[in-house]
Structure 1
């Protein structure tokens, strides 16, 4: 089947070929990976650089509501916050996107029309991904038809963990074909993949199949984005671009709640993939509570006073 990376066409020619390719990737030194992630997390960012980092982080947020109790009113309120995060300071950047379930995509699209903020929609039987392929593809078609600019799909972790790598690859290809103009983010649910080697293999499957982004997590399990698993995925997109010329984005999601956390991730991006990824088109935070902390820290930098949580909206 076709791939967006012709240099690796042979790797996806068959299940056995893909298996050989994936198990031929360099093994991950877990101790070294975690040590490097921890070391980069100690970098100190001050004053002007911190202000820049805060604004950049705000502009990279996919402001998200993925709850069974979501209502059109909640989605419209979230869209308003995405467009104007701090009503007291109109210089505050807009967020990158609002992320919702497919049945809320049309509501988000109407609320965000003309704003430049993207509509992202989870699909493919999010978050478990336990559905037949035709159901998953219908989920994607519905979201795109409703106005989604971006689709966040989940891989079949059961297929991956049982070694059916070509099935995972072909499913991503099929979803990508249904996306049309929408960009595709492929979620691995790294907390369920057990090993760093598996995260590296999943990253390469996603990239070979045409993902526009690779994403750590759904935010619905105990272990979500960590500096180490994000560092590993940043290494993967860096190496993929070096081999193919194709740039792919990265989205850590779940568990990133503070400005300090966000800055650590931005340092990882800069020091691993490079400045080209320091842009909302190539790096996103899957978060909601993070935005409020960024806004409070931004207010403190501009006024010298910490306003506290009573001065930002509760999502």
Structure 2
């Protein structure tokens, strides 16, 4: 990687040379390392701390066509008080909704410290014009979004039109203003681990504050090997650029065991400096309930009944 980062995006040729010059991913090695780290056992006090840490990293998400203002208000209440009977449970990091429901979430969460995240840019396909994507972003930020989760144009990326993807991310970042930008790669559509690494670097070069695995609408989503590759990318990007970027796995993270595997992956790959909601998030809709059940089990020795926690 001899090209200056400032010169990388001057053309498709320079971007291609840079991205295809990144070290190739050893698929077998990545799968084996992720599997090995996924077997690490965490017990007692460390597990209790990991559960609370994971709760504080959750982006509590609802992205359904049937979403209503009432559902969003209820989700915001849960984000602030995940277990109303236990005030020691941490708040989640953010609530993630469609742009038209941002104002509802922003009103419910005002002054609480829980962020409002919104998917924009023609989520989940990303199939629209740049003008529409920018307008979508501006609308969400104006309504009160603290964070924008944008999707890249996977078609352009897979066709090798890296400049188009880069310029779209730059434009959306500019439209975000003070809001943070999470760039969704949709790794399940990128076909290869090498493409995941290239897309990660492309998103970071263009100014993304976070790189995110998935929309949650495509499988496979947030697998351990893919998350490992993205963590390695942010580690290496920091070393080269001096800029720290966060990571957000999303889609398919449903159990406490899943969440703890992710935390182990973070600790062993990039270190404790990323074990914070400022740098690592868990995009999920059903994970929180399992974390709460496991937390209560550790505190009381028994699981709560199935109707103890609200449905997401």
TM range (shorter): over 0.9
Is the 8 Å Cα contact of residues 7 and 244 (structure 1) preserved in structure 2?
A: no
Shift of 1:114: 1.2
Q: Secondary structure at the match of 1:151?
A: strand
> Is 2:71 the counterpart of 1:86?
no
Q: Secondary structure at the match of 1:36?
A: helix
Aligned counterpart for 2:92 among listed residues 82, 95, 105: 95
Q: Secondary structure at the match of 1:153?
A: strand
Residue in 2 aligned with 1:311?
Answer: 308
CA distance in structure 1 between the partners assigned to 2:219 and 2:159 by the alignment: 22
CA distance in structure 1 between the partners assigned to 2:304 and 2:75 by the alignment: 21
Residue in 2 aligned with 1:296?
Answer: 293
> Is 2:227 the counterpart of 1:230?
yes
CA distance in structure 1 between the partners assigned to 2:36 and 2:301 by the alignment: 30
Residue in 2 aligned with 1:12?
Answer: 9
Q: Secondary structure at the match of 1:310?
A: coil
Q: Secondary structure at the match of 1:306?
A: coil
Residue in 2 aligned with 1:24?
Answer: 21
Aligned counterpart for 1:62 among listed residues 56, 59, 71: 59
Residue in 2 aligned with 1:164?
Answer: 161
Aligned counterpart for 2:34 among listed residues 29, 34, 37: 37
| Mapping of residues 264-303 of structure 1, within 5 Å | 264-303=261-300
CA distance in structure 2 between the partners assigned to 1:7 and 1:214 by the alignment: 22
Structure 1 segments, 4+ long, off by >4 Å, are none
Shift of 1:222: 2.1
> Cα RMSD (Å) of the superposition?
0.9
> Is 2:256 the counterpart of 1:259?
yes
Aligned counterpart for 1:208 among listed residues 201, 205, 218: 205
> Is 2:119 the counterpart of 1:122?
yes
Is the 8 Å Cα contact of residues 296 and 309 (structure 1) preserved in structure 2?
A: no
Residue in 1 aligned with 2:190?
Answer: 193
CA distance in structure 2 between the partners assigned to 1:116 and 1:101 by the alignment: 20
Shift of 1:7: 4.8
Is the 8 Å Cα contact of residues 105 and 147 (structure 1) preserved in structure 2?
A: yes
Normalising by structure 1, we get a TM-score of 0.97
How many pairs align? 310
Normalising by structure 2, we get a TM-score of 0.98
Q: Secondary structure at the match of 1:307?
A: coil
1:239-267 CA-to-partner distances (Å, cap 9, x unmatched) read 00111111000000000000001000000
Is the 8 Å Cα contact of residues 292 and 309 (structure 1) preserved in structure 2?
A: no
Q: Secondary structure at the match of 2:268?
A: helix
Runs of 5+ consecutive residues of structure 2 not aligned to the other structure: none
CA distance in structure 2 between the partners assigned to 1:11 and 1:215 by the alignment: 22
CA distance in structure 1 between the partners assigned to 2:4 and 2:231 by the alignment: 20
Shift of 1:308: 3.6
1:100-139 CA-to-partner distances (Å, cap 9, x unmatched) read 0000000000000111100000000000000000000000
1:152-211 CA-to-partner distances (Å, cap 9, x unmatched) read 000000100100011100100000000000000000100000000000000000000000
Runs of 5+ consecutive residues of structure 1 not aligned to the other structure: 1-5
